[in-house]
Amino acid sequence: MTRTLARPDATTSRRAWFGLAVLLLPVLLVSMDMSVLYLAMPTLTEALDPSATQQLWILDIYGFMIAGLLITMGNLGDRIGRRNILLIGATVFGLASVLAAFAPSASVLIAARALMGVGGATLLPSSLALISTMFPDVRARATAIGVWTAFFAGGSAVGPIIGGVLLHHFSWGSVFLINTPVLVVLLVFGPLLLPEHRAAGRGPLDLPSVGLSIGGILPIVFAIKHCAAEGFDLPVVGIGLIGVLLLIAFVRRQRQLAEPLLDLSLFRNGLFSVAIGSSTIGMLALAGMSYLTSVYLQSVTGRDALGAALLGIPMAVVVFVCSVSGARVGRRLGIRTAFVLALGLAALGNLMLLGVGVDGGIGWYVAGTVVAGAGFGMAFTLVSEVAVAAVPPERAGSAVGISETSFELGNGLGLALLGSLAALVFRSGGDFGPTLGDTLTHADGDTALIDSARDSFVHGMHVATTAGAVLLAGMAVIAVLSGRKSRS
């Protein structure tokens, strides 16, 4: 668990380290695009006038397409070549980014975000798998994985900042167009610096498993969001139950396949299960907190996108630094204890946001996000360490695929669950529109309505971030209890 901090072996070629720099580009883009829209949503809402449900789909569909396809694309890369699928995915991602930037309607933007998710799903597993090929030396490989994890964790925190700077100078479409020059660099230098690798003797890809995984996730998410926005009704509950049944069928099928998309036996390792639970709950809480506080800074405090982004810099720095140093904490305290500490810090940071109010509390916002960022950064790098080291080498690829999927699934669930919870509390506070932005746009100068709506939004944000803190604390308790169980 301490290998991430070891010095790279002198025999590792410069080409490998230059190749790593190229691989960090798609990692940063994919993770950044999870959060880059947080600050753009108010501006985007004015331009495209999406409904409340469309707003959530604009945010959610990208992460859920990635979550549903990560393991599939990892398996596909083993068959057709990891560099090949990386470059194919980068092309799809770039073209979809251009489509999103010039989308004339919310529906087109949702479709473009879905295509970006398809492309993004090829980039993460192939980039991490290529690191294993490029760095045969164990110590150098551990260092490279540590840097990869720091960029992945840091990208989500940097996204709102970059988005804020772009929105200050350009239209909302610029948050997508920024992807294209970065991907051009990858497409030019990737074939020169990255080796090709494909596994021999692999059977055909199990397409029914692919369909079951996506067909299970999306109906459940739709049902959750619809019920939060419109209330419970029988048809939507039925759709959610269909999703549950499809996921059950997916799990049953994985147990029967000789080459499953999802190796369920990995979860028999207690520490691995703690890591996957921590990444899912951690990203859920981080996504919900980041989205809600971004809306708060703009629609409640009246800051522009750049002003809101600048207030996010302290958290972004802390997330990156703690991602790099997480392995050192794990070495000194033990991995399980380090997880408990990281989850506890993240929970505390979320609770500190209770000090944020309509008329003040920016200091609480900065302090809370910094404390939470320290916990999130530490936890995420520990997850990557465990995913690689807690299983036999021949199963490491499957373990990494599961950990990446948990990150993306947690991100999407955070927006769907915590975002919907905050929206439900907001609307229960008065005769408001479906969102705070919509309410303020149609308030016609009614200061009483505006003040009431902002107060109700802050209350909803408090409820949602507290729920995130409770989930994080619960995961910390599970980590403690699983450690006692393994020693008994």
> Would you kindly state where each structural domain of the chain is located, as residue ranges?
14-191+261-487, 207-260
Q: Is the pTM of this model over 0.85?
A: no
CA 179, 121, 112, 205 dihedral sign is positive
d(CA 394, CA 426): 49
461: Cα separation from own chain's centroid: 19
| CB-count burial class (<10 Å; 0-12, 13-18, 19+) for 176 | buried
Does CATH number 1.20.1250.20 belong to domain 14-191+261-487? yes
Q: Count how many Cα atoms sit within 13 Å of the Cα of residue 282 in the half-sphere of its side chain.
A: 34
3-state secondary structure of 81: coil
Residue 153, CB-side half-sphere exposure with 13 Å CA sphere:
32
Per residue of the chain (488 residues), what is the pLDDT tens digit? 333 333 444 456 788 888 888 888 888 887 777 667 766 777 788 888 888 778 878 877 887 788 778 778 877 877 777 888 889 999 999 999 999 989 899 899 999 999 998 998 888 778 877 887 787 776 677 677 778 877 876 676 677 677 777 777 888 888 888 888 888 888 999 888 888 876 665 667 788 988 898 888 778 777 776 665 566 678 888 998 999 999 999 999 988 887 787 778 778 878 888 999 999 999 899 989 988 998 899 888 888 777 887 888 888 888 878 877 777 788 788 888 999 999 999 999 999 999 999 888 899 999 999 999 999 988 887 887 777 665 554 455 566 777 777 877 787 678 778 888 898 898 888 878 777 877 887 777 778 888 888 999 999 999 999 999 999 999 999 999 886 665 55
Cβ contacts of residue 114 below 8 Å, gap of 6+?
61, 62, 65
Which of 190, 80, 149 is closest to 326 using CA atoms? 149
